[in-house]
Structure 1
């Protein structure tokens, strides 16, 4: 099954509503930067690469929306025919607001900011053109970012597949599959590539509390493709490792610091510590766009705190005691010393550190 997490359809962005999977499958439509930002914030779309692609389309949608407003066009025509030097058009003001609302949607996933920076660079390069021309150029860039993400994921998948032996039982945490990207996936892309290469791979999926991305999304993806998958609760991983039932761990990430520290879904750090204790390789699959050289260590990565309602229960079913204090950090940081290797589209960095990361990024 080809999973199109995001798609451009009838002049709008459509995204799979991942909040309702696997009970229902539905696309939601988006027409503006603000609506895409809300889709990111509310977890309609999640996963760092997918968030980046969604943000790129959010910028393009805002440009398309503004280019169709009469006041925007009047403002542009007035400036072009003799407005005051340095005056900004309504189109420019609206675009800045669009960038701002998208940047505020989720703080941890660096691909969001990478995509916005790339879209801004394109916007600046065509700023003297008409709003309609700018909008079409931005839309073309969003299309390219989506296609590029799939190409990168497949290259990353091939690099990671070479690390897994035939018959490997691989544990993963959260969902780093097609649903977390434009398609194919990062960690799950490694599994897909290994199967495509003829290896018999079986997957162990952590449930991933509190939003259950492993139970709802990873398990669903693997079932769709007939890749053997076993679902466990988050606190079962150590038991399986101790009994020799896990051969490797492969996860995704939302941001990698310059020194190789990795921010991923809450609970990843515990899995990495357990893997180290049991001498099991712990790999992180990530496109180079997820590596943030501006962040020195994991201690500097902003960690999103989400609503306490997600911990009280799931959807309308609440089981927590009334009045209890709740914390809900959405991510944790795994130190580089616990990472066996970073799997990227350019190759694998074993025992990642500042020098190895910079060398690969520059290559």
Structure 2
């Protein structure tokens, strides 16, 4: 895993998930052995990031199966049990399409097992083995996917960044939002993976990361990863982005691109991502900054045609009106043994807290997948048939 950071540690029969609510001050892994524990881990955002959510859900049910959680005696009942647990896990974070895509794939895998000549016990074992192999494959493939996204994205930016944004050494400065690195995936990351690839190739001058209110994934997690990887970086609040773009233009060192991840990309290219992404896209367009979405093909939803049809999750009001963290002593040191929860607003104020927003395709310059970079055609929409031909043929066909 990139830099040694691992959000997920797994061996067959044992799953450990890094509690990201304790970062950046403390590393603690939760042992996740059941679907209920996985649901709670995902819902509470101890693990987050679309790829990591799908991996944890798939592997947690695998651990459950491996440890004898399924008491069904027939192949039909075994598949029904697996279906029921996956359907339950799907409700933990409904906006992230990686989870629903993984569930659809796993359901298909167990139905494809040929049990015609097997007795009931052997048939059940074959179905469970097929599930385990498929869930583990989702995990192992993710890092390879991220490395390819990083390479494709870095290459595209070096070719397509505004000329004025390149330093004399050909280096670029970029801004990223939320957390899309090793902590959100199995390793390397998607949008932060592009930043990592630029840095490792000597093409990054500086990375800026937003705080990402209200849950502070940028300040708690992305800033931690950037410091850990020794990538030159600066943290800003979400509301400083426009000022940053304008200031860098005046200083003749413009930001080359905003690079973000995606929880769901629909057929026309509209993209759901952490709330605040849409505002960054508007600001980027105004200031001539490229806006790039990094998304594995598992995050592309061909069934949904436009962003208006994406279900946006709303979260608890307390995420805006309260905050918790390790206590800072009078000497300025962080004491991880002491945590406090404090009010940041009047507790009776009404709160609207959507976890995501939708960025229209016309504000996006490129969508980077592991299969290559997709840009808009003459129609002004993104066309994904070349990067996912089989799924396109199955879902869209000649439409």
TM-score of the two chains, using structure 1 as the length reference: 0.91
Corresponding position: 1:136 with 2:129:
yes
Is contact 2:38-2:60 (8 Å) kept? Answer: yes
Aligned to 1:207: 211
Is contact 1:172-1:205 (8 Å) kept? Answer: yes
C-alpha deviations, 1:170-224, integer Å up to 9, x for none? 1011001111111110001001111222223411000000100000100001111
C-alpha deviations, 1:142-169, integer Å up to 9, x for none? 2211111111111110001111454211
Inter-partner Cα distance in structure 2 for 1:278 and 1:288? 29
Aligned to 2:328: none
Identify which of 338, 348, 363 aligns with 2:373. 348
- After TM superposition, list the pairs within 5 Å mapping 1:181-196 onto structure 2: 181-196=185-200
- After TM superposition, list the pairs within 5 Å mapping 1:38-187 onto structure 2: 38-65=40-67, 67=68, 72=71, 76=73, 88-89=76-77, 91-126=78-113, 128=115, 129-162=122-155, 163-164=157-158, 166-187=170-191
Q: CA deviation at 1:354?
A: 4.6
Moved more, 141-150 or 328-337: 141-150
Cα–Cα, structure 1 residues 262 and 355, in superposed 2: closer, same or farther, change >3 Å? closer
Aligned to 1:2: 4
Instruction: Name the SS of the counterpart of 1:184 in structure 2.
Output: coil
Give the total of aligned pairs.
Answer: 348
Identify which of 21, 24, 49 aligns with 1:22. 24
Cα–Cα, structure 1 residues 184 and 324, in superposed 2: closer, same or farther, change >3 Å? same
Aligned to 2:360: 335
Instruction: Name the SS of the counterpart of 1:358 in structure 2.
Output: coil
Q: CA deviation at 1:97?
A: 2.5
Is contact 1:59-1:138 (8 Å) kept? Answer: no
Is contact 2:274-2:357 (8 Å) kept? Answer: yes
C-alpha deviations, 1:225-252, integer Å up to 9, x for none? 1001100000000001111252211000
Corresponding position: 1:263 with 2:265:
no
Inter-partner Cα distance in structure 1 for 2:46 and 2:292? 27
Inter-partner Cα distance in structure 1 for 2:89 and 2:204? 41
Aligned to 1:275: 284
Inter-partner Cα distance in structure 2 for 1:266 and 1:127? 45
C-alpha deviations, 1:49-95, integer Å up to 9, x for none? 11111121133123224x366xx2xx51xx58xxxxxxx53x44432
Cα–Cα, structure 1 residues 92 and 231, in superposed 2: closer, same or farther, change >3 Å? same
Q: CA RMSD in A?
A: 1.9
Corresponding position: 1:318 with 2:343:
yes
Cα–Cα, structure 1 residues 265 and 355, in superposed 2: closer, same or farther, change >3 Å? closer
Moved more, 243-252 or 128-137: 128-137
Aligned to 1:83: none
Q: CA deviation at 1:10?
A: 6.7
Is contact 2:13-2:66 (8 Å) kept? Answer: no
Inter-partner Cα distance in structure 1 for 2:58 and 2:180? 20
Q: CA deviation at 1:355?
A: 5.6
Instruction: Name the SS of the counterpart of 2:384 in structure 1.
Output: helix
Is contact 2:90-2:103 (8 Å) kept? Answer: yes
- After TM superposition, list the pairs within 5 Å mapping 1:231-242 onto structure 2: 231-242=235-246
